[in-house]
Amino acid sequence: MTPLGRRDFLTQLSLTATAVSVPTYGFSWGGKTDEFVEADTTYGRVRGGRTDGVSVFKGIPYGGRVSGDRRFRRPAPLEPWTGVRDTLQVGPPAIQAPRRNEPAPAEDCLFLNVWTPAADNRKRPVMFYSHGGGFVIGSGASASQDGSNLARNFDVVVVETNHRLGLLGFLYLDELAGSDYAGSGNMGMLDITAGLKWVHNNIAQFGGDPANVMIWGESGGGAKTSCLYAMPEAAPYFNKASIESGPGVRMIPKDVAAETTAMLLKELAIAPKDWRKLLDVPAADLLAMQNKLPFVPPFQEKNKNQGTMRRNYGGFGPVVDGVVLPHHPFDPTAPDLSRNKPLLVGWNEDEFTFFAWERRDTEFSKLDFVGLQKKLEPDYGADAGKIVDTYRRANPNASAPALFVAISSITMMGLGSVDIAEKKTKQGGAPAYLYNFGYKSEKTIPGTDYAMGTPHAMDISFKFNNELPPRDGSAPKESFFGGNRPERFTASRHFAELWTTFARTGMPAAKDVPAWPAYTLKTRPTMRIDAQCEVIDNRFSQELALWRSLGKV
């Protein structure tokens, strides 16, 4: 992959951060508690609830205070407690706009949730999930990522954290604030790492195996997983990974992070030498400033980047600081410290339709082929015609809107996923496995007759095995994105079984699914996940040859 320029980097980051409105489907997981269960942690005993064969512990603290004088720093030590602490309600998410059916966001947000078949002494694989929402919103409590069905149906333990986000999680102060604030540009990632350390020290009491931990995540969670895969501090605490619709090839260089910090201080009328005043700014004001930063005219004009910065929420995300994140996760190569850790990576076939739905974009559905080329010209200039011609040859029956969706989806998430698979394969060591999720929803984008297909974020409920017929035999309810066809239940079963088998063994496999070969540079096999899965060699060969010729892979 050719080195990314500043504009290209910010474009990629903004796309990773764009999925900031993934619906939570209502907060419905957990149900009525049948009984209470208890488990020990290194800080004290906790009480969770058991429902329908799954024990759930909600809102377990895994770190101390990160507010006040701990803002932008590693958390204060977590104080042990006496007696039994109830962990029956989720903890507050990180500072962000309020989330439906969750507690109010708070600075002190270091809580995690555990789903387990039983808090016993069995050593089950642990699936440690990082939520999406770019690096700016989200939580470990979204109903679509309820871990109950994975725990119940596949005998695994699922863990999800809340962690610092946005400005409070990724403001780079290392050059201003000294050693107490070392790693400040990666506090959100260090929080997740603290969650992994908690798993290492405690998960055996919840029926999990601390020596068999898979990290995984979708969208922003995929980018977080990419970073964890390259972080020395996280390396001892997991042994396999899955990056889903969020290929974090590159992160924020120090000079970009320092510029963002300078811009923030200027907007707040704080001199660099008085940076400590940031500790007294109300969190709500920092959130408002975080959302304002992309619109600062001098920054936009300097970077010629008005379009992409509009969605970048100030550019807050992991910083390549040379220590916490020593280098870009997958540029120029796959990280050597994870050489022996198997990797899943891939994307959804119609990623773009989510963003059309989110932005109420109906214009793309009216494109003809002349309009398609014109729409591509601002981004690709004289190459726009070549791109249209290549896609028409490769997909002779596709409409102009369908080609726009294909082009947008592969450039958003596909090219980075292929880049990661190829770099991991070139490295040697443990294998990489490439996938596309292709189950097609019949639901349409409002205001159009264009079907959603396989949009960004639709995979979440599928891989968590939350696309299931009601257990009481009643009529199935329509899935938010997945529609109402019964084939979705089979696709969900395949997806979940592939992922849980990978968590258990390091090799993805499932009943009634063809054998999934590791990625090679010769045949480039891709598993297409659907109600009927298939392995396709050299998928998108013409399209990828084009993007390689343009230096995009």
Q: Residue 494 is inside which H or E element, if any?
A: helix 487-505
Q: Tell me which of 219, 226, 417, 441 is the catalytic residue.
A: 219
β-bridge partners, 244: 218, 346
pTM above 0.95?
no
Q: Which residues contact 540 (CB under 8 A, 6 or more apart)?
A: 394, 410, 414
Quote the CATH superfamily of domain 342-510+518-549: Alpha/Beta hydrolase fold, catalytic domain (3.40.50.1820)
Tell me: the pLDDT tens digits for 171-223? 999 999 999 999 999 999 999 999 999 999 999 999 999 999 999 999 999 99
β-bridge partners, 58: 88
Angle at 379 between CA 375 and CA 381, to 5 degrees: 85
Is position 219 annotated as part of the catalytic site?
A: yes
**Structural domain boundaries of the chain?**
342-510+518-549
Longest dimension (CA), the chain: 70
Q: Which residues contact 97 (CB under 8 A, 6 or more apart)?
A: 105, 137, 287
First to last CA, the chain: 5
Give the pLDDT of residue 305. 33
Strand, coil or helix: 332: coil
pLDDT < 50 positions in the chain: 1-29, 295-313
Helix axes 400-409, 352-359, angle to 10 degrees: 110
For residue 274, count other CB atoms closer than 10 A to its CB: 12
Give the pLDDT of residue 15. 39
Which amino acid is it at 444? T
Give the pLDDT of residue 314. 55
Give the pLDDT of residue 126. 99
Distance (Å, whole) CA 440 – CA 49:
36
